[in-house]
Amino acid sequence: MKVVFDDIQKLHNPSIFLSSGVAKPNPDQPRRADILLEAAERAGLERVVPADYGLDVIAAVHTPEYIAFLQTIHERWSQIPGASKEVIPNVHPDRRNGSYPQSPVGQAGYHVADTAAPIGAETWQAVKHNAFSATHAAQLVLAGAKSAYALCRPPGHHAFHDMAGGFCFLNNSAIAAQYLRREHERVAIIDVDLHHGNGTQGIFYNRRDVLTVSIHADPTLFYPFFWGHADERGAGDGLGFNLNLPLAIGTGDEGFLAALDRGLERVAAFAPTVIVVALGLDASEADPLAGLSVSTPGFAQIADRIAQLGLPSVIVQEGGYICDPLGDNLTSFLEGFRARHGS
Ligand SMILES: [Zn+2]
């Protein structure tokens, strides 16, 4: 298995986010990428640098105005006298169905859901190449590899068609899934991040060609609050093609694996020919975001069960923040996956 990563992805270096109104250091530090890369190499993966796939692969998932916003907002924001170094919204439009704003402040409110996705001077370059890593991993699988791991950092699964949030800007898992649709009729995304994959759900909510399954801490008391509940099942053509499996705060290996089995049953019934694993490692018992209690060996068991599907697999990094076992959790997952999958 290859690990796909470009050093440009580390240029995004957010300073803060607000947690219950308090400014704290942003946990999505560039050093996460170093830890995860080292851990992937320890699991025997060989590093490759992604090709440049152009904007088409991003525009297949995100709207033109949102892409233009990400490309230009930092420069326009910087021209506001006394503005902060990073773009952080201070207006939050209710329902977003009014006129599209022209001012950078208005657009920041329109396109960024919360304070956890600050946009710096290098953010666009970093997230663009992040998307290329996801695409490159998908391309490796289309070209015949049984699996590939995209080391995406910052993560992506909280990003909607036209909205950033929760450390995420471009939805790398969705971009990989959409790219795989070029040759696969049915693609399933299995999201095991601590948090609900609300952006991914939103992007595919009305579609039945991409099944979305997410296992996560119950959003009744946990980010992303407004999405991730069990009664969100898709809409229109997509009704029944979104499955949310919320878990009580503090759930450990046993409860997580039981929910995963339910999710994998749904995936098997959908009969995809390829899967995307949205691999958050923040369900770890040691993660600073402290929602679930998966152990390091637990990640190998999660991987083992997903690998039992026996399908070509694109693994896309999502969350998982700096803590002592972060690297070991990735190594555990990848080794567990490879042992069962034979890839
Ligand atoms: Zn997360």
Q: How far is the CA of 79 from the centre of ligand 1 (A)?
A: 33
Q: Across the chain, what does the average pLDDT equal?
A: 97
Q: Residue 38 above 90 pLDDT?
A: yes
Q: Closest Cα to residue 328, out of 40, 47, 33?
A: 40
Q: How far is the CA of 194 from the centre of ligand 1 (A)?
A: 5
Q: How high is the pLDDT of residue 180?
A: 98
Q: How far is the CA of 291 from the centre of ligand 1 (A)?
A: 9
Tell me the catalytic residues: 158
Helices (H), 191-308: 198-204, 253-270, 296-307
Q: How high is the pLDDT of residue 78?
A: 97
| pLDDT one-digit tens code per residue, 182-237 | 999 999 999 999 999 999 999 999 999 999 999 999 999 999 999 999 999 999 99
Q: How far is the CA of 277 from the centre of ligand 1 (A)?
A: 14
Q: How far is the CA of 280 from the centre of ligand 1 (A)?
A: 6
Q: Residue 310 above 90 pLDDT?
A: yes
Residue 98 pLDDT grade (very low, low, confident, very high; cuts 50, 70, 90): confident
| pLDDT one-digit tens code per residue, 326-337 | 999 999 999 999
| pLDDT one-digit tens code per residue, 156-190 | 999 999 999 999 999 999 999 999 999 999 999 99
Q: How far is the CA of 217 from the centre of ligand 1 (A)?
A: 10
Q: How far is the CA of 158 from the centre of ligand 1 (A)?
A: 9
Contacts (Cβ under 8 Å, ≥6 apart) of 82: none
Task: Rounding to the nearest 10 degrees, give the CA dihedral for residues 143, 149, 155, 156.
Answer: 30
Note whether 241 and 197 are within 8 A (CB): no
d(CA 146, CA 332): 19
pTM over 0.85: yes
